[in-house]
Amino acid sequence: MEKSFKSIAKDYGIYLGATLAAVTAIGYAVSLDLFTQIWLGLSLIAIIIVFGIISILKSKKASGGYISFKNAFTSYFITILLGLVISSLVSIIIFTFIDPEAATTLQEKIMDAQVQRLENFNVPAEVIAETVEKMEAQGNMYSISNIAQSIIWQLAGFSVVGLIIALIMKKNKPETE
């Protein structure tokens, strides 16, 4: 019996979550400075999108080479949702329960890196000060409420990408008379 597209999406969501969790754990173990690097963030975005695409492709293959827009997007969305939730749970465990001091250190490193980037782009000092103030006002970026809010914003952004990908990858069965 072939797997349903939802089952395939769940599997790839777990694979994505494991991959993102591994990156988080390795970054924590090796150097918190890795989390301040733009290349890492962009790489993670690419990885997330690739897992969503693979999920659609596998779902399409499992259904005989055809997939509706709705099923393509659902496959993508389930994969992304599970991956982000698993990754977020690992981040909460590491930075809230295991090593809360690392969360504080990481937040300071991220703010310093952001200030450095803004200075490199010759952003006025008032704007930099305002940005730092906003970042400090957010509090612990690894609090459950901040992570939940982050998941929602990430899902919104990745959903826009997913809608476009689903539109491109859909292939309806030809109607037979």
**Is the pLDDT assigned to residue 169 strictly greater than 80?**
yes
**Is the pLDDT assigned to residue 1 strictly greater than 50?**
no
Does residue 177 sit within a domain? Answer: no
Q: What percent of the chain has pLDDT over 90?
A: 74
Structural domain that includes position 144: 5-169
Task: Identify the weakest region by mean pLDDT among 22-26, 110-114, 137-141.
Answer: 137-141
Find the Cα–Cα–Cα–Cα dihedral 89, 138, 34, 46, rounded to 10°.
70
Does residue 175 sit within a domain? Answer: no
CB proximity list for 20: less than 8 A, separation 6 or greater: 44, 47, 48, 83, 84, 86, 87, 90
Does residue 108 sit within a domain? Answer: yes
Task: Identify the weakest region by mean pLDDT among 18-27, 103-112, 135-144, 148-157.
Answer: 135-144
The type of residue at 150 is S
Q: What is the rounded distance in angstroms from the CA atom of residue 54 to the CA atom of residue 46? A: 12
The radius of gyration of the chain's CA atoms, rounded to the nearest angstrom, is 19
The number of distinct structural domains making up the chain is: 1
The type of residue at 20 is L
Predicted confidence at residue 2, as pLDDT, reads: 58
Q: What is the rounded distance in angstroms from the CA atom of residue 9 to the CA atom of residue 70? A: 13
Does residue 88 sit within a domain? Answer: yes
Query: Which tokens belong to 93?
Result: 């465990």
